[in-house]
Structure 1
Amino acid sequence: MDAINTQVTFNQLISELSSRLINSEPAETYECIEEVIEAFGSYAGADRCYVFEFDDAVVNMTNTHEWVRDGFEAHIDDLQSVGIDDLPWFFNEIKTHQLFIVNDVELLPPEADAEKQEFRREHIKSVICVGIVAKHQLLGFVGCDRVQKKHRWTPEEVRCLKLVANIIANTLERQRTYAELIHTQRELEKANRLLHAQVSQDGLTGIANRRAFDERIHNEIQRSMREQSALSLLIIDIDHFKHYNDHYGHLQGDQALKGVANALFDLFQRNTDFVARYGGEEFVAVISATDRKKTEDSINHLLESVRALQIPHETSGIAPYLTVSVGGYIHSPETDEDIDALAEKMIAKADSALYRAKSDGRNRGCLDY
């Protein structure tokens, strides 16, 4: 009757643990597997019970879970990345039969000498292992040892260990599927980021493009409305850039555009600042939470930053180096203003100020407000 009660208790516990594994989150899976092997080890009177997982080629195995009865030595730290050459007979048996039963280690055949030495090292007298198989792939095995004395493994113990192996196989397969899904999700996120960058990034200069600016100006207007703060828009144009291209060539012209873009990007570093290539030799900058003085200072810093590049421009007629003209507009949006209309107005006002800066001799900035 005791044996029957033990069997019933074991079956109930395994059923409960199986349900927990099915419904467990990935972080809980490790704990559940530990409880499953402990349940079998206790049921079978084993001294150790463990799970090993194979690599994809089934040439290396690693002890990933171990339960040890009180008073017995653990070996999980010693059994990491064990190779097929270390235990060739065992690897062949478990790969061929998915079952390895040894009632007496001393009766192992001569070809299993490496296995016999390893079992002696771990003081193992009897051992049983069952393959963990999912979708016809051998993932590893679950096994247990008798250390204190030899034991003849019963058919019922073999059946129960196979049941445990099936539970763990389903769990490991679910884990791997989950890991693959996470990997796929991350790859998709990475691809989407790259795609978004391609859509919103200027291919030559690496800063944002016109499309990104159109989206950002609307977002910044909305932010400005919520925070009741001023918003500035600058339009920057490289002076006499056609003459520069004609004289130095388009490759050198591309380098000049990159240099100006980098200077703008370095200047406007706040999270609420934004720079983009507007088209051709024109750039735009959006400056949030600002005022007239700060905007004028930004324009002056911008002019100086481009001059400091000292890019030669012999055909400029303004300066021996490349320069820019800047038109700016500063506005404090009202909460009820039309965003599209305001964005168009800000661009038109900044463009008008840029025209005045060019009319006044270029290499300077004008601000409208």
Structure 2
Amino acid sequence: MDLKTEQISFDQLISELSTRLINSEPAETYECIEEVIAAIGDYADADRCYVFEFNDSLEHMTNTHEWVRTDYQAHISDLQAVKTADLPWFFEQIKTYHKCIVDNIDFLPPEATAEKAEFEREQIKSVICVGLVANQHLLGFVGCDMVRQERQWTPEEIRRLRLVADMVANTLERQRTYSELIHTQRALEKANRMLQAQVAQDGLTGIANRRAFDERITNEIQRASRHKTPLALLIIDIDQFKPYNDHYGHLQGDQALKSVADAMFDQLQRNTDFIARYGGEEFVAVISATNEEKTKESMNQLLEAVRNLKIKHEPSEVEPYLTISIGGYIHKPRADEDTEDLIARMISKADSALYRAKSDGRNRGYLDT
């Protein structure tokens, strides 16, 4: 193959690889860059071809891609996070001129002592590096090494390496932009989840709020209707909480609300259980896939959990400590029932049962079936 034909063939290959890089998914980019440096290395008859990337502060450079001719030593593993200050002359060439061309390391300037020692360590006789620049930012460099013999780098080889550098630089910039977009997207998704959680969470007690209950009860009714299973609704009220607040103050009243909410939340831990603050000192619970016996057992557990807190309540006419009253209603939803009407009826039935519990002395629960 003559030189002109070889150049045309190389240009066609680079054009194809450029198209692949432009259209590649992020996961394919690494493989595409490997193919690009292999192509330039083979075309230039180099012994190594590689890509280095700088960190954001330009204090370190890392060998991220390397092609090595058969039977020659690779160095990518020992060229990680190399300090640019350790190779000051080389770094200044790349930073200032966006290139470093050395036909023979024996003719390096006196200020390149560190660079000559590194080249000798890697058995490099000639080297050419071209900066990776995108959007006026220096991202790194692409380079070729000669180990077998010295090399007079031709203008054509320099031009083609610049072409490869531009391709790689634009690809890395696109990759970084993509990564930043993904990071931003994930941050926004996390913030949105937190916001949604806050919207559905009671600010004082930390459990679900009225809005979350409205959504949950609708979903549970629809699920119970599909599976033909009973659904229980409980309305829970802290007994004589106004006298408690008046006697102990609102700060202690808030703490009591938190403690009661925590105690009841701990009792309702199944995936099908749900408890929310309904407003003031009133709470509401939804218990799915249950029956009358299990629902009464859950009500007793809630009553006992609050009693066990032993929160003093001197002005109470019920007990010397804080207690709750519970009204419940259990029902098996049918497909032909209107959800909104059923919710209103369940709340009304549970509220009537709560009124009965209060009328009979509080600190107890009643279940309407």
Q: Partner of 2:205 in structure 1?
A: 205
Q: Partner of 1:28 in structure 2?
A: 28
Q: Partner of 1:231 in structure 2?
A: 231
Shift of 1:219: 1.1
Q: Partner of 1:13 in structure 2?
A: 13
- Alpha-carbon displacement from aligned partner over 1:306-365 (angstroms, at most 9, x marks no partner): 111111111112112111000111111001211111111111111111101111111000
Q: Partner of 2:179 in structure 1?
A: 179
- Alpha-carbon displacement from aligned partner over 1:1-55 (angstroms, at most 9, x marks no partner): 5222222221121111111111111111111101110011011011111100111
Matched ranges for 1:3-82 at <5 A: 3-82=3-82
CA distance in 2, matches of 1:273, 1:11: 67
CA distance in 1, matches of 2:162, 2:109: 25
Shift of 1:227: 1.4
Q: Partner of 1:334 in structure 2?
A: 334
Q: Partner of 1:105 in structure 2?
A: 105
Shift of 1:215: 1.2
Write the letter of the residue equivalent to 1:298: S
CA distance in 2, matches of 1:321, 1:49: 79
Q: Does structure 1 residue 164 correspond to structure 2 residue 164?
A: yes
CA distance in 1, matches of 2:17, 2:293: 69
Q: Partner of 2:193 in structure 1?
A: 193
State the aligned residue count: 369
Write the letter of the residue equivalent to 2:262: N
Structure 1: which 5+ runs fail to align?
Answer: none
CA distance in 2, matches of 1:190, 1:286: 28
Identity, % of aligned positions: 71
Q: TM-score, normalised by structure 1?
A: 0.98
Q: TM-score, normalised by structure 2?
A: 0.98
Q: Partner of 1:124 in structure 2?
A: 124
Matched ranges for 1:236-255 at <5 A: 236-255=236-255
Q: Partner of 2:305 in structure 1?
A: 305
Q: Partner of 1:351 in structure 2?
A: 351
CA distance in 1, matches of 2:23, 2:304: 63
CA distance in 2, matches of 1:49, 1:146: 9
- Alpha-carbon displacement from aligned partner over 1:66-92 (angstroms, at most 9, x marks no partner): 111111111111111111221001111
Shift of 1:190: 1.7
Q: Partner of 1:87 in structure 2?
A: 87
Write the letter of the residue equivalent to 1:144: C
Greater shift in the superposed pair: 90-99 or 219-228: 219-228
CA RMSD of aligned residues (A): 0.9
Question: What SS class does the counterpart of residue 290 from structure 1 fall into?
Answer: coil
Structure 2: which 5+ runs fail to align?
Answer: none
Write the letter of the residue equivalent to 1:293: E
Write the letter of the residue equivalent to 1:57: S
Question: What SS class does the counterpart of residue 309 from structure 1 fall into?
Answer: coil
Shift of 1:170: 1.1
